[in-house]
Structure 1
Amino acid sequence: MSDVEHSPLGKTVSYITEYDPSLLFPISRAGKRQEIGLGETLPFMGMDIWNGYELSWLNSRGKPQVAIAIFNIPASSPNIIESKSFKLYLNSFNQTKLETREALQSLLQADLSTATGTNIGVQLIIPEQFHQQRLTELDGYCIDNLDIEVDQYSPLAGLLKCDSGETTITESLTSNLLKSNCLVTGQPDWASIQISYTGKPINRESLLRYLISFRNHNEFHEQCVERIFVDIMRDCAPIKLAVYARYTRRGGLDINPYRCNFSGPLPSNLRGARQ
């Protein structure tokens, strides 16, 4: 498996404008999962929901076409795709002639399934459907207005607290203050996050301090969300838990990882105001 150090991330590259699936750079999930104590049997299921806003190609007569693409990559896939390589791959369609939109969709699905090691879903939103796209914010109680003092900017075991003597509850808590940094370049990654659970009440001040503690942490989006899931399960032991992060886009792509330990529909893929 390719090491992230050999990816195009953080390097000057030439933009190829004709179809080239070799541009995709897969990265194994296993290494980072081992760091947080995960083995082959995962404590969660879920999806990485990617949205591509800069997809364009040529029809058979050379006329440019555009669409928004939605890619659903299962959390069970062996690999993620390094995001800059994903962008370069999508740009390789810019001067590529295709007979139909369905031909493009088939290529995307085949190439990305090969790179991730599992079958993925691809949906294309065409210009006639653009007016149906809308903005919303994550459902739940936003904890960002809590008046707390913060001095920890790297994730630390023990920050999370659970009110163990209280009755079991079901709630969703949200925050817009999640920030982490790219594992390779150190560039900031911004996100809104939703923590939905059934269990003993999670202390809200401790949760906000914990989420803010990712501010100087270097990890990819998917890895941060899995770390948050594992830490909450370890420290608070909820019966049910779902962690959903909506990251702001970079290079025309946003990544929105979702992890949960119960069956149910995927969360909505509606953009937040910052996306």
Structure 2
Amino acid sequence: MSSYQDHQALSGLTLGKPTAYRDRYDATLLQAVPRSMNREPLGLYPDNLPFHGADIWTLYELSWLNANGLPQVAVGEISLNADSLNLIESKSFKLYLNSFNQTPFADWETVRSTLQRDLSACAQGEVSVTLFSVEQLEDTPIARLAGDCIDQQDIRIDNYEFSADYLLNAAGEEVVEEQLVSHLLKSNCLITHQPDWGSVQISYRGGKIDREALLRYLVSFRHHNEFHEQC
């Protein structure tokens, strides 16, 4: 359980509250959650992060009107750098996207650049945005994350409470450079306790990580209440 559930940054969130949907563009719907709430207790600050990475979002419900009022639909891909000061709260993100529904835009590039500008401002960090037509994705398979998947281990697990202790002494003496993947990450929303699902790709160079220990650690998030990006 997070120690900051009563943090003032969370008090104004629409998450977990009844909300009226707007269908006219409104960038003020976006709400930020400071990454520092979870990082500073771990001694992690923007100028000394020991890692790099990104949160990758796929936008399956994105629509707007063209200059003639004809509805347009697209699938978007958002990449939000892990060194951004904020994560973007997901319910506010969806409300923001819905505000495009009845809003005319001159062209697709205007939509893309608007998304990139607003999301970067909310995150206070670099955000990249790519838009795809439905036709472009018709024959596109689900992307496969590069690396060795650690999910098929024949191990018994009976504890689903978060514990970082699984990683104690998990790095061996052999130095390797590798990528590891798991599709078994599940946690629960800090506010609503609804499940969040994700895949994890870890690229590292250093003492070889014990894969059983890593898998037990990832599975231990299963009952954990936290923003998924913070996990």
> Equivalents in 2 of 1:149, 1:157: separation in Å?
18
Residue 53 of structure 2 corresponds to 46
Is 2:195 the counterpart of 1:188?
A: yes
* Equivalent residue pairs, number: 223
Of 2, 6, 9 in structure 1, the residue corresponding to residue 15 of structure 2 is: 9
Superposed CA offset, 1:169-208 (max 9, x none): 3333332222111111111112222333332322222122
> Equivalents in 2 of 1:141, 1:150: separation in Å?
21
Residue 3 of structure 2 corresponds to none
Structure 1 unaligned runs (5+)? Answer: 225-275
Return the offset for 1:100: 1.6
The within-5 A match list for 1:24-39 is: 24-39=30-45
Residue 209 of structure 1 corresponds to 216
Match of 1:12, as an amino acid? P
The change in CA–CA distance for 1:110 and 1:197 in structure 2 (over 3 A counts) is: closer
**Aligned partner of residue 221 in structure 1, secondary structure:** coil
> Equivalents in 2 of 1:163, 1:39: separation in Å?
24
Residue 164 of structure 1 corresponds to 172
- Indicate the RMSD between aligned Cα atoms, in angstroms: 2.1
Structure 2 unaligned runs (5+)? Answer: 1-6
> Equivalents in 2 of 1:113, 1:206: separation in Å?
36
The TM-score, its normalising length taken from structure 1, stands at 0.74
Runs (4 or more) in structure 1 with deviation over 6 Å come to: none
Percentage of identical aligned residues: 50
Of 85, 91, 95 in structure 2, the residue corresponding to residue 88 of structure 1 is: 95
The TM-score, its normalising length taken from structure 2, stands at 0.87
The within-5 A match list for 1:60-209 is: 60-131=67-138, 133-160=140-167, 161-162=169-170, 164-165=172-173, 167-209=174-216
Superposed CA offset, 1:2-27 (max 9, x none): 62232111111111011111111111
* Range with greater deviation from structure 2 (64-73 or 151-160): 151-160
Return the offset for 1:75: 1.8
> Equivalents in 2 of 1:5, 1:133: separation in Å?
41
Contact 2:164 2:217 in 1 (8 A): no
**Aligned partner of residue 3 in structure 1, secondary structure:** helix
Match of 2:194, as an amino acid? Q
The change in CA–CA distance for 1:77 and 1:196 in structure 2 (over 3 A counts) is: closer
The change in CA–CA distance for 1:90 and 1:147 in structure 2 (over 3 A counts) is: same
Match of 1:50, as an amino acid? W
Return the offset for 1:132: 5.0
Contact 2:188 2:196 in 1 (8 A): yes
The change in CA–CA distance for 1:183 and 1:140 in structure 2 (over 3 A counts) is: same
Match of 1:218, as an amino acid? N
Match of 2:150, as an amino acid? I
The change in CA–CA distance for 1:70 and 1:176 in structure 2 (over 3 A counts) is: closer
**Aligned partner of residue 209 in structure 2, secondary structure:** coil
